[in-house]
Amino acid sequence: MLRLYREIDRNEFFVVAVDCAQGGIDSNFGQFISKSRADIPLVFEKNCVAADMTPIIHQALEWIYDKTGVQPVVAFERNMGGASEMSRLQKLNRQGKYRIYQKRIVGDVSGEGVTDHLGFDTNAQTRPQILGDLKQAIDDQLIQIYDKTTIDELGKFIVNKRGRAEAASNCHDDAVMSLAIAWQLYQTENAVVANRIITKRQNGTINNLF
């Protein structure tokens, strides 16, 4: 369910996005991006209903806080039960070890576009933009990906005859969509430590993706 690719460091800041499913052939898939190191050291994948996924994500988020001392920010995609599970996750967060993402206008980095809806809406307007932003990030080698399932799905993500980006026939897009949402959070969210917003990013060489 959870695949860890390296040790988590103290003071790392994570943004987390989950593409929800309601059983069937699709999986709930979560991407845990370290904004401090521009990589994805932890992913979640489980074929189940979204309600079974939420307690596991809750435990993972609390574990990250205990390791880092920094509250991660989390967003579920609001379709497929994600909206109700976001409310449930908010209730589970009794110790305040993580922050729940409030939907923004895509591309807004000022904070003025925040709404009162929890989670991230993927729709006809936001989908092309978040996928385009993710493609640009990968083309520019801005993020390091370790997870084979994610890499495989990215390789099978195509533009169909109607010009719509989607998974190839008989393939899945759960890892891609969760990563696209996580990349939006990477661009808009900052760490909060002792009521201070930390915006400085760690410099360093980004390795090749594949």
Instruction: Classify residue 61: in a domain, yes or no.
Output: yes
Q: Quick one: pLDDT at residue 22?
A: 72
Q: Quick one: pLDDT at residue 208?
A: 33
Instruction: Classify residue 33: in a domain, yes or no.
Output: yes
Instruction: Classify residue 199: in a domain, yes or no.
Output: no
Distance CA 137, CA 149 (A): 18
Q: What is the CATH number of the domain that holds 8?
A: 3.30.420.240
Q: Quick one: pLDDT at residue 63?
A: 98
Instruction: Classify residue 198: in a domain, yes or no.
Output: no
Q: Quick one: pLDDT at residue 75?
A: 96
Query: What is the chain's pLDDT, residue by residue, as a tens digit (210 residues)?
Result: 899 999 999 999 999 999 988 766 678 999 999 999 999 999 999 988 889 999 999 999 999 999 999 999 999 998 877 889 999 999 999 999 999 998 665 555 554 455 568 889 888 788 888 988 999 999 999 999 999 999 988 887 645 445 555 554 544 578 999 999 999 999 999 998 655 555 544 444 333 322
pTM over 0.75: yes
Instruction: Classify residue 207: in a domain, yes or no.
Output: no
